[in-house]
Amino acid sequence: MAARVLQQCVRSLARPSLRLCPVSAALRAAVAPAVGVHRPVSFAADSRRTRWLGQSRISSVVVLCRQYGDLPPLTLETIKDRVMYVLKLYDKINPEKLQETSHFMKDLGLDSLDQVEIIMAMEDEFGFEIPDAEAEKLMSPEEIVQYIADKKDVYE
Amino acid sequence: MASAYLTHQQKVLRLYKKSLRHLESWCIFRDKYRFYACMLRARFDDNKNEKDMVKATMMLKAGEEEFWANQHPQPYIFPDSPGGTSYERYECYKVPEWVLDHWHPSEKAMYPDYFSKREQWKKLRLQSWDKEVAQLEAETSAGGVRTEALPPARKEGDLPPLWWQFVTRPRERPT
């Protein structure tokens, strides 16, 4: 309910901004609160007029909604790009030979300890833990991408 | 995982991973962590070709004891993993799919395509249920179920057992 009252106040403030310059300054001064000295009133009216003129070019709709912070949404392409980027940074992998379907042990000649390190790098990159039971089965970048997409509800 | 027991390799890999994570909690600066991580990897690599399983098990036990002695009191736990800050936070919002059947018809009319497809899926589920149960009963050993792992579909054109639960599972992060 307070939001509705606030919205009405905002609308009443924003309404004069829809009018353009021909409106007389006297009207603006009348709208402005009655301050004692004459000059500050006119100055205030001027500043308010210029401010409203500036605002009249922009739409003055204020939507009161909560804004939470979050990461940008993941897509399959971004997941794949990030996974390949991290893998190319790993020094035991030859970046030319790396494909999406290349198996870590058979094609790239890596060790199981290397695979653990790769999975840990993926956990650090995406910010969530991959349990050991499922991590030991992920043996190619494609499987990693599918697993992350499964966990993060991407194109489910 | 095939059975409830871990192989020696799996135990070694788990020790390696958790020791690296605790090392990361101790050495917060990345270059220092990298240095000690490489030292730890060298230690693991020296003994990885041990063929004598007795000696390998003794080394694993010594490694676990060393890990226990040097573990971090407050290791970094990811938010979504057990013990983390956001573990099971959205569990209360994960509504089961049978709730959709209890919607009012006016609400269901807002999504006609989805609900018509849903009727087809439910028919498919009814048809495949007997075959799934038969497959599970046939594949369960005499002593009862050992693991939670479900077998895949064996025959062509058959659906894997208890697929409905998996397909209609709630999202990890319900909106």
- Please tell me the distance from the alpha carbon of residue B41 to that of residue B50, in angstroms, as a whole number: 16
Q: Which residues form the domain of B15?
A: 8-70
User: Whole-structure pTM over 0.80, yes or no?
Assistant: no
In a domain, B2, yes or no: no
* Same domain assignment for residues B22 and B61: yes
CA nearest A120 in B: which residue? B17
DSSP B42-106: HHHHHTTT---HHHHHHHHHHHHHHHHHH--SS----TTSTTSTTTTTTGGG---GGGGGGS-HH
* Same domain assignment for residues B101 and B161: yes
According to the model, what pLDDT value does residue A9 have? 62
A45-89 pLDDT, tens digit per residue, is 444 544 544 444 555 667 788 888 888 889 999 999 999 999 999
**Is A132 an active-site residue?**
no
- Please tell me the distance from the alpha carbon of residue A86 to that of residue B117, in angstroms, as a whole number: 40
Average pLDDT over residues A5-19: 59
- Please tell me the distance from the alpha carbon of residue A77 to that of residue B147, in angstroms, as a whole number: 35
End-to-end CA distance of chain B: 32
Asked whether the beta carbons of residue A132 and residue B13 sit closer than 8 angstroms, the reply is: yes
In a domain, B157, yes or no: yes
Q: Which of B20, B37, B70 is the last residue of a domain?
A: B70
According to the model, what pLDDT value does residue A15 have? 62
- What one-letter code names the amino acid at B101? D
B104-133 pLDDT, tens digit per residue, is 999 999 999 999 999 999 999 999 888 888
- Profile chain B (175 residues) by mean pLDDT over runs of 10 residues: 80 96 96 96 94 95 97 95 92 91 94 93 91 84 73 79 87 83
* Same domain assignment for residues B102 and B143: yes
Alpha carbon distances (Å) from A142 to A3, A74, A103, A149, B71: 48, 16, 9, 11, 34
According to the model, what pLDDT value does residue B147 have? 72
Q: How confident is the model at residue A7 (pLDDT cuts 50, 70, 90)?
A: low
* Same domain assignment for residues B99 and B64: no
Q: Which of B23, B41, B70 is the last residue of a domain?
A: B70
* Same domain assignment for residues B95 and B164: yes
Q: Which of A46, A81, A111, A150 is catalytic?
A: A111
* Same domain assignment for residues B62 and B128: no
| Of A29 and B137, more confident | B137
In a domain, B127, yes or no: yes
A38-56 pLDDT, tens digit per residue, is 444 444 444 454 454 444 4
* Same domain assignment for residues B96 and B128: yes
In a domain, B1, yes or no: no
- Please tell me the distance from the alpha carbon of residue A116 to that of residue A122, in angstroms, as a whole number: 10
User: Min CA distance, A101 vs chain B (Å)?
Assistant: 23
Model ipTM value: 0.86
* Same domain assignment for residues B34 and B63: yes
In a domain, B86, yes or no: no
In a domain, B58, yes or no: yes
- Radius of gyration from C-alpha coordinates of chain A: 30
Burial class of A111 by CB neighbour count within 10 A (0 to 12, 13 to 18, 19+): middle
Question: Residue B149: phi, psi to the nearest 5?
Answer: -70, 135
pLDDT at A19 over 80: no
Task: Please state which of the ranges A10-19, A30-39, B65-74 shows the lowest mean pLDDT.
Answer: A30-39
Angle (CA) B164-B167-B172 rounded to 5° is 130
Quick check: A117 contacting B, CB < 8 Å? yes
In chain B, the number of structural domains is 2
The pair of structure tokens assigned to A30 is 């009348």
Burial class of A118 by CB neighbour count within 10 A (0 to 12, 13 to 18, 19+): buried
User: Min CA distance, B1 vs chain A (Å)?
Assistant: 7
* Same domain assignment for residues B103 and B49: no
Burial class of A10 by CB neighbour count within 10 A (0 to 12, 13 to 18, 19+): middle
- Please tell me the distance from the alpha carbon of residue A140 to that of residue A147, in angstroms, as a whole number: 11
In a domain, B173, yes or no: no
* Same domain assignment for residues B55 and B122: no
Place of tokens 């009963």: B137
B105-129 core/surface letters (b: 16 or more CB in 10 A; e: else): eeeeeeeeeebeebeeeeeeeeebe
* Same domain assignment for residues B59 and B95: no
What one-character DSSP code corresponds to residue A67? -
What one-character DSSP code corresponds to residue A86? H
Residues of B in Cβ contact (< 8 Å) with A133:
1
According to the model, what pLDDT value does residue A76 have? 94
Please give the distance of CA A55 from its chain centroid, rounded to a whole number.
Answer: 26
The pair of structure tokens assigned to B19 is 């020791």
Of the candidates B14, B78, B171, which has its C-beta nearest A156's C-beta?
B171
* Strand, coil or helix: A6: helix
* Maximal CA-CA distance, chain A: 86
* Same domain assignment for residues B102 and B60: no
pLDDT at A37 over 60: no
- Per the prediction, chain A carries an average pLDDT of 76
Q: Where are the alpha helices (DSSP H) in chain A?
A: 2-14, 25-31, 38-56, 76-89, 112-126, 132-135, 141-151
pLDDT at A11 over 70: no
| Of A9 and B66, more confident | B66
Average pLDDT over residues A123-142: 93
The pair of structure tokens assigned to B144 is 């009862």
Q: What percent of chain A lies above the pLDDT cut of 70?
A: 60
Q: How confident is the model at residue A3 (pLDDT cuts 50, 70, 90)?
A: low
Q: Which of B38, B70, B102 is the last residue of a domain?
A: B70
